[in-house]
Each structure stands twice: as structure tokens, then as C-alpha cells.
Amino acid sequence: MEQKILEVQSLYKEYGKKENKTVALQGLSCSVLSGEFLGIMGSSGSGKTTLLNCIATMISPTGGKILLRGEDISGFHGRRLAEYRGNQIGYLFQTFELLDNLTGRENILLPMAIHGIRGEEEERLEELADYLEISSVLDQFPAQMSGGQKQRVAAARAMIMQPQLILADEPTGALDSKNARGLMDKLEGLSRDQNTTIMMVTHDINAASFCSRILFIQDGIIFHELRRDMAEETREDFYERIIAVMAQLGGGSANVY
């Protein structure tokens, strides 16, 4: 039986007070299975990034629980919270967030340096660099890299600590179509071949078609879910099903099949 790595239970997030109050999440519940590539889609303001940022502990929910292998992350403080952020999740940003004064190698190894991990970094670095095809830019600075190379370096940094969960927020948003396709090929391969668990927020239907499952969020709740038959369904066919759901996002779940 597939194991749940993450459970979100009745999550609420409100901003502001009284007449200025905005409800971003309205009791949203979902789960992430070990090794799956889960996509999160929805219109702007639907609550996608709020959900991701609550899981990353960048913001605190107003109510509900987020469980990592059964443990409520709201109870993490001090060293335990630092371990969660540094070791158990990796975050892949849309805008790369590389440090300009560090080389690709130094950017990738930064999480290990922060957490004082020694002895295994070079082997892990070489493995990731080879897989992501960035060995040639390890000693270059970000200003010397293309957008695609920067994002793959950022992906290696997110993965270097071998976290239980990779959180990706619009990872193809700053890339052209060729580099976006290359990155998604790599992320799909990591999920398929190395059992890496990935949760990705995206507006990009092409990017979403690489996922094994997609949750559609509308007004802070789950509107619909699509599962791809990985053995039988082509990515092109899954793409068409995603388009059909996106076309119905304004009409209610009764219109989706």
C-alpha cells in the first residue's frame, strides 16, 4: 500500500481582520503519497501558493493541521523546525534564488554547509550534477549561466539534503519552453526512478502534464482531482484532460467528469 508522507487536515488561512479579512484556505484537506509527483493548479488567488508556504512553514495557518509522517509540524520549534526546513523539505523557487557571489557548486552545497554535514557532499553533488546535466557550470557564477542552468542548479540545491519532500513553486515560470521541458523531464525522472516525492504549484498545463496526480484548487478548497494512468495514459492525453478541467474551473465540480 502506498504510504502517505504528508497529510493536510482542514487547513484554514485568513489574512486581515473584519471587513479587510481575506480567506485564502477554507478547510482544505489533501495528502501526498511517497514517491508521487503531485501538481497543484488553480487560478491566481485560489490558495495554491498559500498552501505550499504553509507546508514550508514560511507562514502559519489559521487553523487545521499539517502532518509529516503523522507528526504535526506546528509543534516544531528551534532545532526541530530547522531540521524540518533544512533536511526534510527542499524548496524550488520560480526565480532560482541563487546567491550571485557563489558558484554553482557552492550554491548547491550551501544547505550542507549550513547544517554542518561533511564527508558525503561531493559524491551526492556529482550524482545530482550528472543527472541534471549541470557538471559544466559547477564552477561558474549564476551570471554566467542560462535560465535553464540556474533552475537546474537550484533543483540540485533543493535535493542535495535528500529531503522527504520537494516543494516547487512555479518552477518553469521563468523558463522558455525548451528549458521548461528539460526541467520537467528531470523532475519526472526523479519521481519515477528515485522515488522522490514532489509537490508542485503551477499555472503551466505543459508542466502539469508530467505529474502523476493533480489537485485543482478553487477559492481555498479542492475543486477536483485528476490521476494519470502512468502505465496506459500518454502525457498528451493527460494534457487534454487537464485542459478540460481548467475550462470548467468557473462552473463547479458538477461539470467535470
CATH number for position 138 = 3.40.50.300
Among the residue ranges 7-11, 114-118, 190-194, 197-201, the one predicted with the least confidence is 114-118
Of the candidates 124, 109, 133, the residue with the CA atom closest to the CA atom of residue 162: 124
User: At residue 222, does pLDDT exceed 60?
Assistant: yes
pLDDT of 253 over the 60 cut: no
pLDDT for position 251: 47
Domain count, the chain: 1
Which domain, by its residues, includes 74?
4-255
The stretch 23-42 carries a mean pLDDT of 94
Percentage of the chain with pLDDT > 90? 59
**Least confident segment among 35-39, 53-57, 91-95, 99-103:** 91-95
